[in-house]
Structure 1
């Protein structure tokens, strides 16, 4: 055997013996046990909802006296039973303090400050004689 062959054989043996050392099979670490809960079951409703499910409410007719007037778009209105509303009308119009109006309104989804009272958006507005 030549000197080069000896070194190749020795290197191969060293590599192979290094690969084998410490490679005995070991047991896998124990797995943590998982608890599986069943998925919720959806059931069909037996009746319609008892309360509204939409955020948008239907329009409401209110009648009262203007207590904050001007050229708009915000006004104040007090109903005959003392409920204060903050009216918002996009198109705006001149309303005089003290006149009576009838307004078809809906809950406003706008984030604006129109003064004291429940903020509502005017759909239609009519002066009452």
Structure 2
């Protein structure tokens, strides 16, 4: 599925808007990894465990958002955004949202992109 942060798809024609879609997860922090991250922050450097958790969470919410778009009949998502917020001291909400659309390529470059993504033209 084509997912973009722009409001349009150059080389594509949007035939129909299917509506807003989102994927959401709420994650709790592991007390031991928080403790390790606290120590790591004293000396500096990447918090690899926390980075991997964020990558996994973003992947999960993207997959949920794309599935909702498919369920609504969409084949692309425009105006995609991520949002995060803290809930209390131990929970983090991560959300991906955008607008599901039905779009078709109208230029040669867009046709090539569609083929690479596995669209049936």
TM-score, scaled to structure 1: 0.23
Choose between structure 1 and 2 for higher RCO, CA contacts under 8 A separated by at least 6 residues.
2
Q: Select the structure that is richer in helix.
A: 2
Q: Which has the larger radius of gyration?
A: 1
Q: Select the structure that is richer in strand.
A: 2
